[in-house]
Amino acid sequence: MSEKILEAPDTVQNPVEQATTELKQRFPESLSDETRPGYEGLIVSPDKLREVATTLRDELGFNYLSSVTGVDLIDDNKMEVVYHIYSIEKGGGPIVLKAQVDRDNPVVPSLVPVWPGADFQEREAWDLLGIRFDGHPDLRRILTWDGFHGHPLRKDWKEPFYEEDHKPFGSRWPGGGVRRAEELNPYGKNVQYPPGWVPTGDEYEVETDLYTGLTIKKDETIDLKTEQVTVNIGPQHPSTHGVFRMVVTLDGETIVALKPVMGYLHRNHEKIGERNTFIQNIPYTDRLDYICSMSNNLGYVLAVEKLLGSEVPERAEWLRILNVELTRICNHLWALGFLLNDLGALQTPMLYFYIERELILDFFEALSGSRMMCNYMRFGGVAYDLPDDVRGQPTLQFLDELVNERLPRALEQGNELMTGNEIVQARSIGVGYLSPEDAIAYSTAGPVLRASGIPYDVRRAEPYSYYEHLDFDVAVRYNGDIYDRYLIRLDEMYQSLRIIRQVLPYLKETEGAPIISGKPQYALRVPKGGEAYARVENPKGELGFYVTAKPKGSNPERYHVRAPSFINLTALEKMTVGHKVADLVAILGSIDIVLGEVDR
């Protein structure tokens, strides 16, 4: 009797195993288990990939494609595409699909027909790894420019100032000298151009591919002849939140087609990450979404901790949650301020929100030494304990006042001043609608997904840290327009305050307890090989880190960032077509992107 009761919840709790078994029954020939130690998931033969994906989406409930990325398995002369697919309804872990193809001619069927959200991610894999996606509607380079030669994330691609395969470079360590490769190779002799490219000429039609998708569609049924205009909004534009460009075809002021162009800030974060040692990557993650460095740290640290299998002491977990939630408030204050600014409310709400954001930054400064680039988390803990005082007040008292008085008051004020404003409502209600189905299909995450009525929050769906012990609601709104994306950020800030209020007593209780596991030592442990995918609910959405490690070596073999800002942009065209140019800026503001993370 007892066996039956125990068995039933077991199958429900393990939707991944259940679905895996089901899949294996259906596609016995084309699926095989991952055999490498420390790796997980199923290896799919590429020709059946689309069918497997369709089955997963339609019949097994795994309807949310979180991450698509490629891995260069140069030793096996293979390219691997890794898919992480989650279930919105059931929550829990991912089903990991892997398709392996020949390295010299890597062609994988595109999953865009199944999940349109794969669009940008597949383009990124093509751009950086040279994997062709058969059936992709618009397979162009996305992060590097059209005159770029080669695919930089391939292991045999070398940058113009190539020095060594991984850090620390011999030129700088252990002597600490400042001799740099740039000095030895002042003209960058190994700079390469694509065939046919003349660096000094302008005969290379760089952007023809970009504009072909936007050609003017003549409407023959209307006797009044109108002409459509193609306008470039950005990259130098005050309200694209950075160097982001949108090529927009306009009919009058109505948008008929839109293509985002990005990569102006591209620095190949992932290549840098693969050159770095594991610990060196933490400060680099700060620079992804430079507003939320704390939660970026957490995502990366969780992924490496999975590889290391390390424990985190209790106090460190509470400190992590405190900082991550403060970061969320910080980010949302910023996002709302800019959204309202995009609606034309000349900076006033933004600056009002800044007063409280400033206090949070002061706290971060006292805690980690930096206001924005915190570099705070470590594998197995955090770097520093709470400071004695912040702005002349004892820390806990400062936090108490911040969380219980200042922030609620600021939110109340903002809510009072702006939420009911007629112009704000007229500009945002019903604008930029994204249906719940589209929100899932386009792999949107975070506030964008939840404002469309999908109550999916990684903190609940696949809890990490101590979130399962905390009492909070997943904020959700159902209209999927700009106004709801505005409101949901307010809701989330209230929830974050609720979480922090629960955390504060524990911080008081655990005072003096260790904040990092293990003994302090100079030689850091490095992972013993394997792969790990960790995701956190970043303020902008689901931030995932996919890290693989070789059995030996101090640097990751593959380091991939599933950037929420980047993937949320996939839905931009869906949201904007049919609206006015003025709405475009507001819609972009409501997605809340940071270009450091989009371009990586």
Partner 1 sequence: MTPGQLALRSLIVGFIITFAVITGFAYTTLLERKLLARLQGRIGPNRAGYIPVPTRSGKPRRFLGGIMQPAADAVKLFFKEDITPAKVDRWVYTLAPMLAVIPAILILAVIPWAGEITILGQTFSPYFAIAPGVNVGIVFVLAITSIGVYGVVLAGWASNSKYAVLGGIRASAQMISYELALGLTVLVPIMLADSMDLGEIVAAQKGVIDWFVFRQPLAAIIFWIGALAELQRAPFDLLEAEQELSAGYTVEYAGMRFGMFFMAEYMKMIALSAITATLFFGGYRGPFVDQVPALGFLYIGLKTFIGLCIMIWIRATLPRFRYDQLMAFGWKRMLPISVLNFVVVGIFIVLQEEGILQPLFENTLRFLGIG
Sheet holding 42-44, edge to edge: 31-33, 42-44, 95-102, 78-86, 64-73
User: Considering only residues 427, 540, 560, 574, which one is a binding residue for partner 1 as defined by CB under 8 A?
Assistant: 427
Per CB under 8 A, the list member of 346, 392, 512, 552 interacting with partner 1 is 346
Report if residue 355 touches partner 1, rule: CB under 8 A.
yes
CA dihedral 265, 157, 305, 368 (to 10 degrees): -40
Smallest distance, Å, CB 419 to partner 1?
12
Do the bridges between strand 530-538 and strand 541-549 make them parallel or antiparallel, or are there none, so unpaired?
antiparallel
CA–CA gap between residue 588 and residue 240 (Å, rounded): 7
Q: Which stretch binds partner 1 (CB under 8 A): 137-145, 352-360, 365-373, 400-408?
A: 352-360
User: Rounded to an integer, what distance in angstroms lies between the CA atom of residue 447 and that of residue 518?
Assistant: 37
Binding mask 222-261 for partner 1 (x = CB under 8 A): -------x-x-----xxx-------------x--------
Q: Is 421 in the site for partner 1 (CB under 8 A)?
A: yes
Nearest distance from C-beta of residue 486 to partner 1, angstroms: 12
Residues contacting partner 1: total by CB under 8 A: 30
For partner 1, the closer of residues 184 and 429 by Cβ is 429
Q: Which tokens is 584 given?
A: 């475009």
Comparing CA positions, the residue from 380, 377, 254 lying closest to residue 312 is 380
* Peptide bond just before 168 cis, omega within 30 deg: yes
Residue 540 · residue 403 · CB < 8 Å? no
Kindly state whether residue 410 participates in binding partner 1, applying the rule CB under 8 A: no
Residue 133: CB minimum distance to partner 1, A: 34
* 320, β-bridge pairs: none
Judged by CB, which is closer to partner 1: 317, or 342? Answer: 342
345 binds partner 1 (CB under 8 A): yes
CA–centroid distance for 89 within its chain: 21
Paired with 538 in beta bridges are: 541
Q: Which of 107, 198, 351, 429 binds partner 1 (CB under 8 A)?
A: 351
Cβ 342 to partner 1 shortest distance, Å: 5
Q: Is 352 near partner 1 (CB under 8 A)?
A: yes
- Which burial class, exposed, middle or buried, applies to 82 when counting CB atoms under 10 A from its CB (0-12, 13-18, 19+)? buried
Task: By CB under 8 A, tell whether 424 contacts partner 1.
Answer: yes
Which one, 107 or 426, has the nearer CB to partner 1? 426
Q: Of the two residues 427 and 574, which places its CB atom closer to partner 1 in the complex?
A: 427
Cis peptide bond upstream of 174, omega within 30: yes
Footprint of partner 1 on residues 562-581 (CB under 8 A)?
A: 580-581
Applying the rule CB under 8 A, the residues between 527 and 566 that interact with partner 1 are: none
Distance CA 393, CA 11 (A): 52
Q: Is residue 348 within the footprint of partner 1 (CB under 8 A)?
A: yes
Q: Which of residues 206 and 351 has its CB atom nearest to partner 1 in the complex?
A: 351
Chain residues 304-343 in contact with partner 1, contact rule CB under 8 A: 340-343
CA distances from 54 to 252, 273, 441, 456, 595 (A): 40, 33, 12, 21, 32
Nearer to partner 1, 322 or 410 (CB): 410
Among 243, 373, 470, 582, binds partner 1 (CB under 8 A): 582
Which residues, including other chains, have CB under 8 Å from residue 140's CB and lie 6 or more apart?
A: 123, 146, 209, 210
Which residues of this protein are in contact with partner 1, per CB under 8 A? 229, 231, 237-239, 253, 340-348, 351-352, 354-355, 421, 423-424, 426-427, 580-585
